[in-house]
Amino acid sequence: MSDPEDSGAPTPLARIRVVEFTHMVMGPTVGHVLAGLGAEVVRIEPIGGDRTRRLLGSGAGYFPMYNRGKRSICLELKSAEGIGVARDLIAGADVLVENFRPGALDRLGLGYDALAADNPRLIYCSEKGFLPGPYEQRTALDEVAQMMGGLAYMTGPPGRPLRAGASVIDVTGGLFGVIGILAALEERHRTGRGQKIVASLFETTAYLVGQHMAQFAVTGKAAAPMPARVSAWAIYDVFETRDDPVFIGVVTDALWEKFCALFGLDALWADESLRENNQRVLARERILPVIRELIAGMTRAEVIARLDGTGLPFAPIGRPEDLFDDPHLAAGGMEPVELDNGTLTNLPAIPIEMAGRRPGQRQKLPMPGADNAAVLAALGYSTQHIESLLQSGAVGGPE
């Protein structure tokens, strides 16, 4: 692993030590963001490595995306020796992150109360399906939360709920965990004590669809699914061109004037009944056919050339694989990552800038147990002790 403090990337969390018991997406997202900000993150994996590493299909990208910049140690947590190593690691940690089933770590003696007795400064972040309440013992996944919380209903056409096209609840739930950790670190500066934090999938979903709940409270009318919604703006849609589609949004009266001038829509601009946004919304059925016909006669490149730099919102319809060659991301939004098979690729860095610097440095994914010896030696274990742990199977590596 490279030293983030030597990379020129911002490292506000340097010297913060994190121990991570995670799998899939939600928990690893927490550790990935903390590592990207300079924290030292040690993943505790089962012997042979986290099964997330071997997922197929849509899960094949989970591990490389959310586990960069971490160290790996493989422990047999069914053994007293493995639990002992875990407790030694946690005793010197600032943060613990976990996203297993409720009670799983408690049954191993690794719950918050047991660990805080030895390390009262510990900040313990649990990423769960639900916060305390009637559902808290249920098993939840990103898709479960999207279905329960109304996001799938809002995403698909009426009667056809559809999950969002990325693990938005897992990732956002992980980000809420990071927010909680950062707040707890700040509070620890004042109190000297850590605390337990819980972030969840279901409540994260409710927060994201809260705008639609508020819409119902304000208007008395239920929000329609996105494909059937009445937009707040007359021009806020995907338009077909001669080759590839493009999204265009005209969201202010000043932009309406500019849009009409750019595309020679003199007749529409001359119509004073369309000068205000709400008037245009009510006249969408009259406006949109004119604009669709106009845009359909142009190529996407021609539309973009006319809109670029004008302040009008627009977007080509991109695909994930297109982003590898995106010139804007290439200017600082990506970091090089060496995959398990040695392939070098670029993946999105944490999307923030701090004091003019962007997170991101060359990363190599940790092989299962790659850091066993270094992590144990840093705990003060002797060479003989480390060898005995390896021989006993309490510590291991790849299968």
- 25-63 pLDDT tens trace: 999 999 999 999 999 999 999 999 999 999 999 999 999
Half-sphere exposure of residue 327: CA atoms within 13 angstroms, side-chain side: 0
d(CA 199, CA 128): 6
d(CA 350, CA 342): 23
**Residues in the chain where the model's pLDDT stays below 50:** 1-2
Q: What per-residue confidence (pLDDT) applies to 6?
A: 55
User: Strand, coil or helix: what is 344?
Assistant: strand
Q: What per-residue confidence (pLDDT) applies to 273?
A: 96
Q: What per-residue confidence (pLDDT) applies to 398?
A: 74
d(CA 67, CA 89): 19
Closest to 365 in 3D by CA, of 26, 72, 60: 72
Domains of the chain in start order, with CATH, are: 4-208+332-396 (3.40.50.10540), 231-321 (3.30.1540.10)
Half-sphere exposure of residue 243: CA atoms within 13 angstroms, side-chain side: 7
Indicate the burial class of 238 (C-beta count within 10 angstroms; 0-12, 13-18, 19 or more). exposed
Q: What per-residue confidence (pLDDT) applies to 1?
A: 46
